[in-house]
Structure 1
Amino acid sequence: MTEQHHRLEQRKVRFDFADTPLHWVPNEPEASHIMNTLHILLPAGEFWFCKVYNKALPLVTDERLRDDVRGFIKQEAQHARAHDSALQPYLDRHGINSKPFTRRLSWLFDKPLGELPIGDHALGRGLKHWWLLQRVGLIAAVEHFTCVLGNWIITTDKLDNADPVMIDLLRWHGAEEVEHRCVAHDLHVGLGGSMVMRWFYMVIACIALTYLFSAGSGMMMRQDPATRRSPGFLRLWSRLGKRGFLPTPGSIGRAVGRYFAPGYHPRTEGDVNVALNYLANSPAAQRAAAELQAMA
């Protein structure tokens, strides 16, 4: 369970990208595209998290963990909605057609990662519980990455001069990832998931996320005249990391290494107080809180 437990709340934020440029990190089109990949990946991915966790929730017997999982689901659903609000009006307005890519993503989460990937028959139904635990293990690994990236985005000052709406979206999201950093791990352990299983799914997550970020950012860069001849993805990420516009590959590698330590728990990742401080000062979160108070 979380060390400093507090109840997770859903902040119903909204963002207006009408004045946000495609290259929202000034003079850094490649960094902008790599981070814009989140708008393509997260709506389908985080709604998938919610579907899996809603299936897992009846299996949770610990009341505090059950409350954490409910809060996690609400926050992840809001993350998906917020990034989806950038996907169509923002990327479409700038001439980026993401629909072929997002259709393939939807197929991935609906079919191979869906509830009955091998079909609705006796064998498929018999494996539903086992397959649910495998997906919970995969989510725990992915949530390690989202916490690490979230901690970086709320602590770096390199992006302070970026578009204020986009950076607020990413920092609000990143802060909530740090805030609920323990839930996915605790759920996996609570449902009987093993350390070896978590290790296996971390390997899968590393491969899958590298491919998805490479494919998604490459798709956008090919449609942008400013970035049509960008270098290979890993070389590009390394170059941007050295300049501070992305977390360095070394820092991500060390974070992955920590996950393989026996007895690892995500309470050691980031600082919840730093995350909560950002959430208390986020323009979007402040507007959402004011609107909620006005309705009370």
Structure 2
Amino acid sequence: MSQITVRQKNFNFSPQIQRYWYGNSAFKTHFFNSITLLFPDGEQFMLRTIKRQIKQIENTQLKQEAAAFVGQEAQHAVQHEKFWQILYQQGYTFDIYLRCLRFILFNVCEKRLSIKFKLAMIAGVEHFTNVIAELTLKEELFADAEPIMKELFEWHSAEEIEHKTVAYDVFQDVTQSYLIRILGIIMAYTFVLGFVNLGLLIMLHHDKKLLNFKVWQEMVQFLFSEEKIFFKVFSHSIKYLKVNFHPSERDNLFLIERVIG
């Protein structure tokens, strides 16, 4: 039986959520707003790909875990997209962003990549989200965020850790090619970081803060000098390059206990 639980969540985002809900920081708020813009369609691409592959999986345990993965990712997509209404109410528009994102995901990646490369890319994305999820829970990154946003990101992070092995195992079930795996994570990081930065710039442009010194000071502090997120993500990410890498080698399941039990 799968140890991955599909939880039905129903976040209610109040219109009273502050514009800069992460410690009154424009950079941190829009960094994670941008991730929220990326998640729903990104999750749809992943769950659709995995769902189509399930019938090809012969291992019963992995088949059950893949089905639970699909259920969890569907919930993530729905709950993050609900927050978009708050962003719209705050005056943000991101239709062009979404058109670009959907073209790359569904017209290019989904239609043109082989199943091996799609799964390799998804495994790479899942490695990235697992790294961020571990930092979120281990270092309580959202301690200064509004409670509902803290709950959203911590719940999502806990479930990312809970299903951290699934996408990788589904990829390995199709091919164990090291070259494809590495090309997959390069594509994944290029895609994720590219769209996170694009979303961030769009949000800051709306606020007329692209040239605001304080915003870029917050960026330096968050990424390089105080939280040092860049260095922590990099040090975790390069472990994926090991020939015998497997997500289970990272001992972080204990982190999810306070969030999802």
Q: Find the aligned partners of 1:235 and 1:140 in 2 and give their Cα distance.
A: 33
Residue 51 of structure 2 corresponds to 54
Question: Residue 76 of structure 1 is aligned with which of 73, 78, 83?
Answer: 73
The answer (yes or no) to whether the contact 1:172–1:279 under 8 Å persists in 2 is: yes
Q: What is the letter of the counterpart of residue 13 of structure 2? A: F
Residue 240 of structure 2 corresponds to 259
Alignment of structure 1 residues 86-125 onto 2, 5 Å: 86-87=83-84, 89-115=85-111, 117=112
TM-score of the superposed pair, with normalisation by structure 1: 0.82
Residue 32 of structure 2 corresponds to 35
Deviation at 1:276, TM superposition (A): 3.2
Q: Deviations over 1:123-178 (max 9, x none)?
A: xxxxxxx7112101110001000000011111223531320001110000011000
Q: Deviations over 1:210-237 (max 9, x none)?
A: 2111111101110014x23257x99864
Question: Residue 201 of structure 1 is aligned with which of 184, 190, 200?
Answer: 184
Q: Find the aligned partners of 1:269 and 1:82 in 2 and give their Cα distance.
A: 27
Secondary structure, aligned partner of 1:59: coil
Question: Residue 205 of structure 2 is aligned with which of 183, 205, 222?
Answer: 222
Q: Find the aligned partners of 1:202 and 1:230 in 2 and give their Cα distance.
A: 33
Deviation at 1:196, TM superposition (A): 1.8
Q: What is the letter of the counterpart of residue 138 of structure 1? A: M
Deviation at 1:273, TM superposition (A): 2.2
Alignment of structure 1 residues 5-24 onto 2, 5 Å: 6-18=2-14, 19-24=16-21
Residue 138 of structure 2 corresponds to 155
Listed as ranges, the gaps of 5+ residues in structure 1 are: 118-129, 281-296
CA RMSD of aligned residues (A): 2.0
Q: Find the aligned partners of 1:85 and 1:270 in 2 and give their Cα distance.
A: 32
Residue 25 of structure 1 corresponds to 22
Residue 137 of structure 1 corresponds to 120
Q: What is the letter of the counterpart of residue 274 of structure 1? A: L
Alignment of structure 1 residues 169-180 onto 2, 5 Å: 169-180=152-163
The answer (yes or no) to whether the contact 1:147–1:174 under 8 Å persists in 2 is: yes
Q: Deviations over 1:85-109 (max 9, x none)?
A: 011x110111110122112212222
Residues 234 and 136 of structure 1: CA distance in aligned 2, closer, same or farther (over 3 Å) = farther
Q: What is the letter of the counterpart of residue 239 of structure 1? A: Q
TM-score of the superposed pair, with normalisation by structure 2: 0.92
Secondary structure, aligned partner of 2:110: coil
Listed as ranges, the gaps of 5+ residues in structure 2 are: none
**1:239 equivalent in alignment to 2:228:** no
Residues 201 and 220 of structure 1: CA distance in aligned 2, closer, same or farther (over 3 Å) = same
Identity %: 21
The answer (yes or no) to whether the contact 1:147–1:269 under 8 Å persists in 2 is: no
Q: Find the aligned partners of 2:157 and 2:11 in 1 and give their Cα distance.
A: 15
Q: Find the aligned partners of 1:185 and 1:177 in 2 and give their Cα distance.
A: 13
Q: Find the aligned partners of 1:150 and 1:96 in 2 and give their Cα distance.
A: 26
Deviation at 1:37, TM superposition (A): 0.8
- The alignment of Structure 1 onto Structure 2 pairs a total of residues equal to 258
The answer (yes or no) to whether the contact 1:137–1:197 under 8 Å persists in 2 is: yes
Q: Find the aligned partners of 2:56 and 2:2 in 1 and give their Cα distance.
A: 22
Q: Find the aligned partners of 2:216 and 2:121 in 1 and give their Cα distance.
A: 23
The answer (yes or no) to whether the contact 2:2–2:61 under 8 Å persists in 1 is: no
Deviation at 1:6, TM superposition (A): 4.7
